[in-house]
């Protein structure tokens, strides 16, 4: 049976983020929380293959109870089962601790129902680290294909998947044995507009919640949350501004003059000579 | 084969009217689908504004215990008259306005509507978000028996549908309940900004003792360049809502860009210091149906009823709309309950909705104010001349100048007659009275 | 006496080294010098070392010495002729376990980010992604200086500085073009130490069936000397021709702000900024770009910035060396004419 596991994260919609001008802190209030867009595309691809091959899609997420809405959204998009890994002790996790919790849970899920493919997002837009996927793959000793843009074929019989992934130089067509992890680019699949029955099912869906000990496994408390995180945030701030340069206003000095004054500055700094030398 | 999705009632639009209707029906045990096109209730909704508690209490007597998402109680309300460079206020404070709970609270729709819909959900209604109703499912005889949404496999069936779609009443039109598009002359485009400031700063600027006091003001005069329109300013906990509405046809005629009109208002010497240094959080626009009585659609048909803004139930002068929306939602819901009892969803039972409305204040008010929007159109002097005159007159009255008072009064008198003859002025007052009192 | 090792991963594809590797050797040298004093006090040695994998790439190891590595660990094996996650991370983790570097820098390229997360997990240590600033600094409660790694977070709205207190190596992936290219010294000497990969072809897990080359080579803005970038102020895609003309007389390439990419006016490879490329040209001209934080973080390290914007308050002027307040449709033609005149003058 085809069983896809998708790791999804809830993130603040970073296009809506504000900084408090007085404190320089992030204003979280009123910032909408969304499913990490890359994860949504990854999920869409998983569901597409489920519809093609039959089978099942399980989503898993680590986060506070507010992540339930994101799991429901995954059900709306076609997932069958949702698991939220949620415990106060998980809070403050960096990517190493996150990958531990996810890997431990995925191992259990895999024992219950063997997983064929794991779908992760390329990165989460709040941290943009792109580290959790590779971290989980290493812990589970799975092959990993990052920056996946297309699944060409899933061969359940022989247990192989063929994937296109892009690099800086080219697109690679890669074949790996399953289970395999993919971290997905947005172009892997369009996010469909879910049918109404799926939406209604999702509105009534309550995900399973696994905590430190309430669930089918016990997590190692040395490896979760702050304790399990080697990195800490040392400080945060808005980036400092350099001293701004001079401005010439075309309305005051005219277009020709403003351009000339600006180019003179560039020439005085030796820039013009340097680049025009290169142009010849 | 997809399963047939069925409910006892469908409510289209989780605004003030829709959630009220859903709450009332669900509480009585009906299986209700509350369909909302926005990501969440309130995410697409805008208003000034203030919400009136009398209407909420009618639907939910214990509302205060449910921690409603209000901003501040309105403890100071009134008119501000803007001249080009001055401001005259006519405001009232305390007295009735100090009641607990207050008669009105300022609110932000994104928060309030979410809370309001949550009350309906708590009563058992199923909120279906991110789904737009695009059409109706009709039985052979034409009766409405469900809705079609924009989703795949998106039909929902129910014997009764309450349409609370707001001002953009496409569905009401689709049902043929209103036979014309709303004219630009009957609609105001309202646009506003929400500007964030520390609560302390807001208290200081508006002369409020603390965040449990708030201002709601209607602003007339220079706010709309003297054109038919009205501004508003409301204090929220940590934000100020400020904006204005201008009739659509006026915007088109004078080729005004909403943003520029609002910007000009915000830069007015009396307004600018109130919002100075604040951070712009939101900017948005929304239509207000001001046609009122004249534009009111037929309110029901077999299997469906129309409530709230979709039925143009707004009192433009008083910025009242939320209360009419809530009450009409409640009355339609009660009618739907009756229809379920009788197992008759035809106009015979649903006519009870209009009868219930007639007993209350909504239809009475709407009839009384039926001339108001036409009045504004034909009397622009209320937007320009009189506010300017008021500022001149009071400014003169309260200045020493060092001249004889008789001369001063003569000057004040001339500043009016220079703008408008006494005869005209008397006529203006008369038609204002007619418009408001419904003579 | 201990040896404090500052490591840099050398990224090569088909024998071509990604320049970020050399940039990182430069910054590693700089970081090493920041701990020189405290190391001398304790009698510790400080070295900059490179890790290189590939098939017959010894020449590159030699080059790494020229860019400042004291020593290169070379894993030369046909299994790693092309990059694949599993053999790479396993090979590197084994060498790192053997030599215990203190700091390990990897370019935040597509390949580098794929690799870094795996290596850090295998070594059970912390990794700070996509850094734009690095320094060695004091951290309370720790006796020696730690790597302070600064990176944009929350869509570039905020800068976070991350430290890894107790685990080594302290790892960072670092954006290309954030740090300058170091001088190359062809006479530099150093050691090349060969290490075994320890992974067979069967253990590589994945098999690359074919390479599909990109249809058209997209414009490479990352390493261009001159970039003329256009923003939403251009109003239509056609107006990018004007930007192109200016780029042509300057021998440069065209960049853009994100809305132009979102609107499909120009190829996404040309996006400058937080979610696009970081650039560091000799000359950056921004026309009709307001200068949002997310754009600025991608270009503020340019040597010289000229901003053209009709709004005198546009934040782009905050990072510009010189600004022209005016209509770009007037300013750019004038600029093209004057530069052409300047060139003619210079030629005679
Ligand atoms: C600027 C401004 C200031 C105002 N100030 C005040 C004030 O201070 N006090 C006051 O009492 N009133 C005020 N009003 C009026 C008041 O906001 C409205 O009268 C009230 O919101 C009407 O409620 P409603 O439920 O009928 O419509 P709405 O609140 O507009 O709700 C309609 C809902 O239906 C949804 N919807 C629409 N079509 C569909 C569809 N096809 N399928 C699914 N969902 C759909 C919408 O997304 C929306 O959530 C103001 C209005 C404006 C514009
Ligand atoms: C998570 C996240 C990541 C992002 N990543 C990036 C990124 O990588 N790169 C990026 O660029 N943006 C990025 N953005 C978007 C960024 O916040 C800004 O929205 C964007 O940079 C604005 O582009 P712009 O300056 O072209 O457009 P605008 O902000 O609309 O500015 C247009 C400018 O043109 C000027 N102008 C108009 N007409 C003329 C004229 N005739 N002559 C001269 N000047 C004129 C105007 O005064 C204005 O300043 C990101 C945003 C988020 C939330
Ligand atoms: N808390 C989490 N819960 C579930 N999945 C996560 C979590 N954090 C990260 N992921 C997955 O890992 C991917 C990369 O995240 P990141 O490394 O944070 O950029 C995301 O796209 C998700 O698929």
DSSP state of C214: P
Distance A35 CA to ligand 3 centre (A): 11
Q: CATH code for B184-289?
A: 3.30.9.90
pLDDT in tens, C189-222: 999 999 999 999 999 989 999 998 765 566 789 8
pLDDT, position B1 = 39
Look at B15 and B410; give whichever has higher pLDDT: B15
Asked if residue A95 has its Cβ within 6 Å of ligand 3, the reply is yes
- The burial of A14, by beta-carbon neighbours within 10 Å (0-12 exposed, 13-18 middle, 19 or more buried), is given as buried
Note the ligand closest to the C-alpha atom of C311.
Answer: 2
Mean pLDDT in residue range B162-174: 91
Question: Is it the case that residue B192 has pLDDT exceeding 80?
Answer: yes
Interface subset of A 138-167, CB within 8 angstroms of B: none
- SS3 (DSSP) at A153: strand
Domain shared by C156 and C233, yes or no: no
* DSSP string over A65-116: GGGHHHHHHHHHTT-SEEEEE--GGGTT--HHHHHHHHHHHHHHHHHHS--S
User: Could you give the C-alpha distances from B424 to B228, B392, B413, B420, C295, in angstroms and in order?
Assistant: 18, 19, 14, 6, 59
Quick one: what percent of chain C has pLDDT higher than 70? Answer: 98
Helix or strand run (H / E) with residue C304: strand C304-309
- SS3 (DSSP) at B387: helix
Atom of ligand 2 nearest to the CA of C293: 17
Asked if residue A38 has its Cβ within 6 Å of ligand 3, the reply is yes
- Ranked by mean pLDDT, which of B74-78, B329-333, C150-154 comes out on top? B329-333
Strands C12-13 and C71-76: unpaired
Asked if residue C276 has its Cβ within 6 Å of ligand 2, the reply is yes
Over the range A221-254, which residues count as b (16 or more CB within 10 Å of their CB) and which as e? eebbbeebbbbeebebeebeeeebbebbebeebe
Handedness of CA B65, B66, B72, B73 (dihedral sign): negative
Q: Phi, psi (5° rounding) for residue C12?
A: -130, 145
Work out the pLDDT band at B296, boundaries 50, 70, 90.
confident
Nearest of C218, C130, C247 to residue C177 by alpha carbon: C130
Q: Is residue C199 part of a domain?
A: yes
pLDDT, position B85 = 80
Interface subset of A 171-230, CB within 8 angstroms of B: 193-197, 199-200, 203-204
Q: Is residue C219 part of a domain?
A: no
Domain containing C251 equals: 226-347
Domain count, chain C: 2
Distance B217 CA to ligand 1 centre (A): 20
pLDDT, position A32 = 79
Work out the pLDDT band at B416, boundaries 50, 70, 90.
low
Domain shared by C137 and C75, yes or no: yes
Q: Is residue C80 part of a domain?
A: yes
Beta strand extents in B224-343 (DSSP E only): 229-235, 239-247, 279-289, 300-301, 304-306
pLDDT in tens, C235-289: 999 999 999 999 999 999 999 999 999 899 999 889 999 888 889 899 999 999 9
Chain A interface mutation, best of C117, C134, C216, highest count of A Cβ atoms under 10 Å: C117
Contacts of B151 (CB under 8 A, 6+ apart): A193, A194, A195, A196, A199, B131
pLDDT in tens, B51-73: 999 999 999 999 999 999 999 99
Question: Is it the case that residue B439 has pLDDT exceeding 60?
Answer: no
A41–chain B nearest CA distance, Å: 18
Domain shared by C27 and C88, yes or no: yes
**CATH, residue C24:** 3.40.50.620
* DSSP string over B425-436: HHHHHHHHHHHH
Asked if residue C329 has its Cβ within 6 Å of ligand 2, the reply is yes
Torsional class of B255: left (φ above 0), alpha (ψ -120 to 50), beta (otherwise): left
Distance C133 CA to ligand 3 centre (A): 24
Q: Is residue C213 part of a domain?
A: no
- SS3 (DSSP) at B439: coil
Contact C342 A134 (CB under 8 A): no
pLDDT, position A278 = 45
Domain shared by C142 and C254, yes or no: no
Contact A234 C161 (CB under 8 A): yes
**Angle, in degrees to the nearest 10, between helices A255-268 and A271-279:** 90
Beta strand extents in C155-225 (DSSP E only): 158-164, 170-174, 191-194, 207-213
Asked if residue A124 has its Cβ within 6 Å of ligand 3, the reply is yes
Q: Are B288 and B244 in contact (CB under 8 A)?
A: no
Q: Is the minimum CB–CB distance between A30 and chain B shorter than 8 Å?
A: yes
Q: Is residue C217 part of a domain?
A: no
Torsional class of C37: left (φ above 0), alpha (ψ -120 to 50), beta (otherwise): alpha
Domain shared by C124 and C240, yes or no: no
Neighbours of B181 (CB within 10 A): 11
C-alpha dihedral (A219, A225, A231, A237), degrees to nearest 10: 160
Interface subset of C 187-246, CB within 8 angstroms of A: 205-214, 225-226
pLDDT in tens, B361-380: 777 776 766 666 566 666 66
pLDDT in tens, C170-187: 999 999 988 999 999 999
* Secondary-structure percent of chain C, ordered helix, strand, coil, rounded to 5: 35, 30, 35
* Secondary-structure percent of chain A, ordered helix, strand, coil, rounded to 5: 35, 30, 35
Work out the pLDDT band at C106, boundaries 50, 70, 90.
very high
Helical spans, DSSP H, in chain C: 19-34, 36-42, 58-66, 85-99, 110-122, 240-250, 258-262, 293-299, 328-347
Tell me how far the alpha carbon of residue A2 is from its chain's centroid.
23
Domain shared by C307 and C181, yes or no: no
Domain shared by C21 and C153, yes or no: yes
Residues C211-215: contacts with CB under 8 Å, at least 24 apart: C211/A170, C211/A171, C211/A172, C211/A173, C212/A164, C212/A170, C212/A171, C212/A172, C212/A173, C213/A169, C213/A170, C213/A171, C214/A169, C214/A170, C214/A171
- SS3 (DSSP) at B46: coil
The two tokens of residue C192 are 């090349």
Chain A interface mutation, best of C102, C109, C206, C318, highest count of A Cβ atoms under 10 Å: C206
pLDDT, position B414 = 72
**Closest residue of A to B131, CA-based?**
A196
What is the spatial distance between Cα B8 and Cα B303, in angstroms, rounded to a whole number? 11
Q: What domains does chain A contain, in order, with CATH numbers?
A: 3-223 (3.40.50.620), 250-279 (no CATH)
Q: Which residues of A touch C211 (CB under 8 A)?
A: 170-173
Instruction: State the greatest distance between any 2 C-alpha atoms of chain C, in Å, as a whole number.
Output: 66
What is the spatial distance between Cα B237 and Cα B106, in angstroms, rounded to a whole number? 9
ipTM: 0.77
The two tokens of residue C228 are 């003329």
Q: Which residues of A touch B151 (CB under 8 A)?
A: 193-196, 199
Note the ligand closest to the C-alpha atom of A90.
Answer: 3
Contact B279 A18 (CB under 8 A): yes
- SS3 (DSSP) at C218: coil
Work out the pLDDT band at B22, boundaries 50, 70, 90.
very high
pLDDT, position B312 = 85
Q: Is residue C216 part of a domain?
A: no
Chain C interface mutation, best of A18, A159, A172, A229, highest count of C Cβ atoms under 10 Å: A172
Asked if residue A58 has its Cβ within 6 Å of ligand 3, the reply is no
Q: Which residues pair with B285 in a beta bridge?
A: B191
Q: Phi, psi (5° rounding) for residue C200?
A: -95, 170
The two tokens of residue A258 are 């403003």
**CATH, residue C259:** 3.40.50.1220
Q: Are A266 and C322 in contact (CB under 8 A)?
A: yes
Q: Are C253 and C221 in contact (CB under 8 A)?
A: yes
CATH number assigned to the domain with residue range B5-69+108-174+292-368, chosen from the 4 options 3.50.50.60, 3.40.50.80, 3.40.50.720, 3.20.20.140: 3.50.50.60
pLDDT, position B46 = 81
Interface subset of A 43-102, CB within 8 angstroms of B: none
* DSSP string over A35-76: E-HHHHHHHHHHHHHHHHH--EEEEEEES-GGGHHHHHHHHH
What is the spatial distance between Cα A86 and Cα A111, in angstroms, rounded to a whole number? 21
Domain shared by C183 and C261, yes or no: no
Atom of ligand 3 nearest to the CA of A63: 1
Domain shared by C23 and C111, yes or no: yes
Domain shared by C236 and C194, yes or no: no
Tell me how far the alpha carbon of residue B371 is from its chain's centroid.
18
Q: Are A128 and C114 in contact (CB under 8 A)?
A: no
Question: Is it the case that residue B407 has pLDDT exceeding 70?
Answer: yes
Contact A203 B127 (CB under 8 A): yes
Q: Is residue C140 part of a domain?
A: yes
Contact B130 A21 (CB under 8 A): no
Domain shared by C176 and C268, yes or no: no
DSSP state of C13: E
Distance B187 CA to ligand 1 centre (A): 14
Q: Which of A130, A244, A278 sits opposite C318 (nearest CB)?
A: A244
Asked if residue A127 has its Cβ within 6 Å of ligand 3, the reply is yes
Q: Which of C110, C139, C300 sits opposite A167 (nearest CB)?
A: C110
- Ranked by mean pLDDT, which of B177-191, B269-283, C75-89, C332-346 comes out on top? C75-89
The two tokens of residue B321 are 């709309």
Domain shared by C285 and C151, yes or no: no
Q: A226 preceded by cis ω (within 30°)?
A: no
What is the location of CATH 3.50.50.60 in chain B?
Answer: 5-69+108-174+292-368
Q: Is the minimum CB–CB distance between C313 and chain A shorter than 8 Å?
A: no
What is the spatial distance between Cα B255 and Cα A20, in angstroms, rounded to a whole number? 37
**pLDDT under 70 in chain A at which residues?**
14-30, 239-242, 278-280
pLDDT, position C174 = 96
Q: Is residue C241 part of a domain?
A: yes
């Amino acid at each position: 049976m085809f069983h896809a596991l998708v790791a999804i994260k809830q993130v603040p919609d970073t296009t809506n983020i504000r900084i408090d001008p007085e404190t320089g802190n992030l204003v979280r209030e009123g910032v909408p929380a969304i499913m990490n867009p890359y994860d949504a595309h990854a999920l869409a691809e998983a569901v597409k293959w489920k519809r093609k091959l039959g089978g099942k899609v399980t989503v898993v997420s680590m986060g506070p109870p507010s992540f339930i809405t994101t799991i429901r959204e995954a059900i709306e998009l076609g997932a069958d089962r949702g698991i939220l890994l949620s415990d106060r002790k998980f809070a403050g996790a960096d990517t190493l601790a996150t990958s531990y919790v996810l890997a431990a849970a995925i191992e259990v899920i895999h024992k219950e129902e063997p997983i064929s493919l794991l779908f992760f997002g390329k990165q989460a837009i709040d941290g943009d680290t792109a580290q959790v996927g590779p971290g989980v793959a290493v812990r589970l000793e799975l092959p990993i294909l990052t920056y996946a843009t297309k699944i060409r074929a899933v061969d359940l019989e022989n247990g192989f998947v063929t994937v296109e992934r892009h690099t800086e130089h080219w697109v690679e067509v890669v074949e790996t044995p399953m289970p395999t992890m993919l971290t997905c680019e947005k172009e892997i699949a369009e996010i469909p507009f879910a049918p109404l029955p799926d939406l209604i099912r999702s509105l009534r869906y309550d995900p399973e919640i696994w905590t430190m000990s309430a669930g089918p496994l016990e997590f190692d408390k040395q490896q979760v949350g702050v304790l399990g995180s080697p990195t800490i945030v040392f400080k945060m701030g808005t980036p400092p501004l350099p001293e701004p340069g001079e401005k010439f206003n075309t309305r005051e000095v005219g277009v020709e003059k403003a351009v000339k004054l600006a180019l003179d500055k560039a020439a005085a700094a030796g820039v013009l000579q340097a680049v025009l030398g290169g142009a010849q | 084969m997809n399963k047939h999705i069925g409910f006892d009632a469908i409510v289209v639009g989780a605004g003030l009217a829709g959630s009220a209707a859903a709450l009332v029906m669900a509480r009585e045990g009906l299986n209700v689908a509350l369909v909302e096109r926005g990501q969440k209730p309130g995410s697409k909704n805008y208003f000034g504004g203030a919400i009136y508690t009398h209407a909420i209490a009618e639907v939910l007597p214990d509302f205060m215990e449910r921690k409603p998402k209000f901003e501040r109680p309105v403890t100071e309300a009134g008119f501000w008259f803007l001249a080009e460079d001055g401001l005259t206020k006519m405001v009232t404070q305390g007295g009735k306005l100090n009641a607990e709970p207050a008669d009105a609270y300022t609110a932000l729709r994104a928060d309030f509507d979410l809370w309001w819909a949550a009350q309906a959900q708590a009563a058992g209604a199923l909120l279906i978000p991110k789904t737009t109703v695009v059409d109706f499912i009709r039985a052979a005889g034409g009766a409405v028996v469900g809705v079609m949404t924009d989703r795949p496999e998106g039909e929902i069936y129910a014997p009764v549908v309450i349409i609370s779609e707001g001002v953009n009443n496409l569905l009401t039109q689709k049902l043929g309940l209103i036979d014309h598009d709303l004219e630009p002359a009957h609609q105001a485009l309202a646009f506003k900004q929400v500007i964030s400031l520390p609560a302390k700063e807001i208290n200081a600027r508006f002369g409020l003792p603390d965040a449990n006091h708030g201002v709601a003001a209607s602003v007339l005069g220079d706010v709309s360049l003297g054109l038919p329109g009205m501004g508003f300013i409301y204090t929220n906990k940590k934000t100020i809502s400020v904006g204005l509405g201008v009739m659509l046809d006026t915007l088109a005629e004078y080729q005004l860009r909403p943003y520029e009109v609002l910007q000009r208002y915000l830069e007015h010497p009396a307004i600018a210091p109130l919002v100075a240094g604040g951070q712009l959080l939101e900017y948005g626009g929304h239509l207000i149906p001001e046609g009122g009585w004249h534009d009111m659609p037929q309110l029901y048909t077999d299997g469906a009823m129309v409530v709230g803004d979709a039925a143009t139930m707004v009192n433009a002068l008083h910025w009242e709309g939320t209360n009419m929306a809530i009450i009409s939602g409640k009355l339609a819901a009660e009618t739907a309950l009756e229809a379920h009892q009788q197992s008759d969803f035809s106009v015979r039972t649903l006519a009870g909705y209009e009868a219930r409305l007639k007993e209350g204040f909504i239809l009475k008010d709407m009839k009384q104010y039926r001339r108001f929007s036409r009045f504004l159109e034909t009397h622009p002097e209320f937007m320009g001349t009189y506010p300017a005159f008021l500022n001149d007159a009071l400014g003169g009255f309260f200045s020493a100048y060092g001249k004889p008072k008789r001369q001063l009064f003569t000057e004040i008198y001339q500043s009016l007659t220079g703008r408008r003859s006494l005869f005209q002025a008397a006529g203006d007052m008369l038609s204002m009275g007619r418009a408001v009192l419904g003579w | 006496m201990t040896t404090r090792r500052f490591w840099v991963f050398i990224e090569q594809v088909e024998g071509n080294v990604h320049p970020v590797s050399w940039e990182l050797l430069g910054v590693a040298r700089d970081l090493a010098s920041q701990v020189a004093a405290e190391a001398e006090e304790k009698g510790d040695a400080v070295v900059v070392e490179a890790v290189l994998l590939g098939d017959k790439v010894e020449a590159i190891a030699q080059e790494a010495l020229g860019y400042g590595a004291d020593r290169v660990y070379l894993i030369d094996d046909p299994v790693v002729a092309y990059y694949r996650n599993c053999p790479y991370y396993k090979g590197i983790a084994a060498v790192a376990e053997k030599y215990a570097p203190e700091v390990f820098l990897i370019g935040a390229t597509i390949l580098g980010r794929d690799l870094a997360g795996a290596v850090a997990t295998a070594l059970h240590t912390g990794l700070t992604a996509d850094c734009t600033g690095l320094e060695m600094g004091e951290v309370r409660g720790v006796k020696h200086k730690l790597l302070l790694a600064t990176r944009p977070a929350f869509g570039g709205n905020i800068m976070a500085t991350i430290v890894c207190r107790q685990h080594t190596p302290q790892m960072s992936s670092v954006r290309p073009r954030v740090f300058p290219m170091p001088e190359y010294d062809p006479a530099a000497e150093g050691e090349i130490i060969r290490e075994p990969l320890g992974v067979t072809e069967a253990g590589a897990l994945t098999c690359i069936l074919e390479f599909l080359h990109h249809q058209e080579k997209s414009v490479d803005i990352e390493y261009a000397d001159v970039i003329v970038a256009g923003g939403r102020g251009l109003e239509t895609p056609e107006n990018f021709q004007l930007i192109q003309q200016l780029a042509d007389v300057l021998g440069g390439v065209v960049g853009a702000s994100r809305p132009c990419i979102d609107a499909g006016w120009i190829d996404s490879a040309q996006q400058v900024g937080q979610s696009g490329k970081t650039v560091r040209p000799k000359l950056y001209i921004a026309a009709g770009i307001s200068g949002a934080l997310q754009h600025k973080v991608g270009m503020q390290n340019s040597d010289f910035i000229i901003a053209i914007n009709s709004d005198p308050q546009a934040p782009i002027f905050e990072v510009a060396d010189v600004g022209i307040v005016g209509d770009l449709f007037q300013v750019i033609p004038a600029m093209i004419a004057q530069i052409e005149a300047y060139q003619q003058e210079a030629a005679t």
